[in-house]
Amino acid sequence: MTDALKRHWPEYLMEAACLGLFMISAFTFGTILEHPVSLLHQAIPSSLLRRFLMGVAMGSTAILIIYSPWGKQSGAHINPSTTLTFFRLGKVAKWDAVFYIVAQFGGAVTGALLASAVLAPSVSHPSVNYVITMPGSDGIAAGFIAQVAISFILMSVILHVSNNTRLHKLTGLCAGALVAAYITLEAPISGMSMNPARTFASAVPAQYWTSLWLYFTAPLIGMLAAAEAY
């Protein structure tokens, strides 16, 4: 444990910072696109188009993080489910996985609380509601299945592309494109998280704990299944 901390503490902090920045981006663009007094919200009455723009914003954020110097050094997991899947594949040591996950949750919550303070009271408006993730009108079962499916596809793409000598440099672009597509098309079903830390971080300021278990289990099941299939 202490050896892992001594050798890799910078990477742990980078994971925390990257996920914190991801949450700040989510809160910022969520407020700009969904708060009723926002000029952009008023100019775009279509919820589908607003989700598309949110998808582009968050997909681009993910891409920038993945290809940033910090992202390259830490591996830009920015997701406990991803870290646990890489641990299952033998790509991450046990204590590195533990500290990565702690850092991811800590960074995500810090980013969410910082964004909440800066964007208050707009981010607490019901139309934004701290960009929480929750199952849609089709219910928890549909949300669970959808989370498993999109997580399975994402991890499958990451594993196949990253391990292809000709395509590995495109891994971040593929991941960002899927994030954008999922937010646009899948978000009404499950809230499009695939990330326990991201969901938990929004839940903290919102004090919204309903169905939290779904986002702690379904993404991990989907990603581990993709690892086994790979």
Q: Are 70 and 18 in contact (CB under 8 A)?
A: yes
Q: What is the pLDDT of residues 28-49, one digit of tens each?
A: 999 999 999 999 999 999 999 9
Q: What average pLDDT does the segment 197-203 reach?
A: 98
pTM: 0.95
Q: Are 97 and 9 in contact (CB under 8 A)?
A: no
Grade residue 4 by pLDDT with cuts at 50, 70 and 90.
confident
C-alpha distances out from residue 77 to 18, 49, 144, Å: 9, 28, 22
| Per-residue model confidence (pLDDT) at position 27 | 98
C-alpha distances out from residue 57 to 10, 87, 118, 142, 171, Å: 27, 29, 19, 26, 18
| Per-residue model confidence (pLDDT) at position 1 | 84
Q: Name the DSSP letter for residue 192.
A: S
Which tokens sit at 66?
């993945």
Roughly how many angstroms between the first and final C-alpha of the chain, as a whole number? 30
Q: What average pLDDT does the segment 166-184 reach?
A: 96
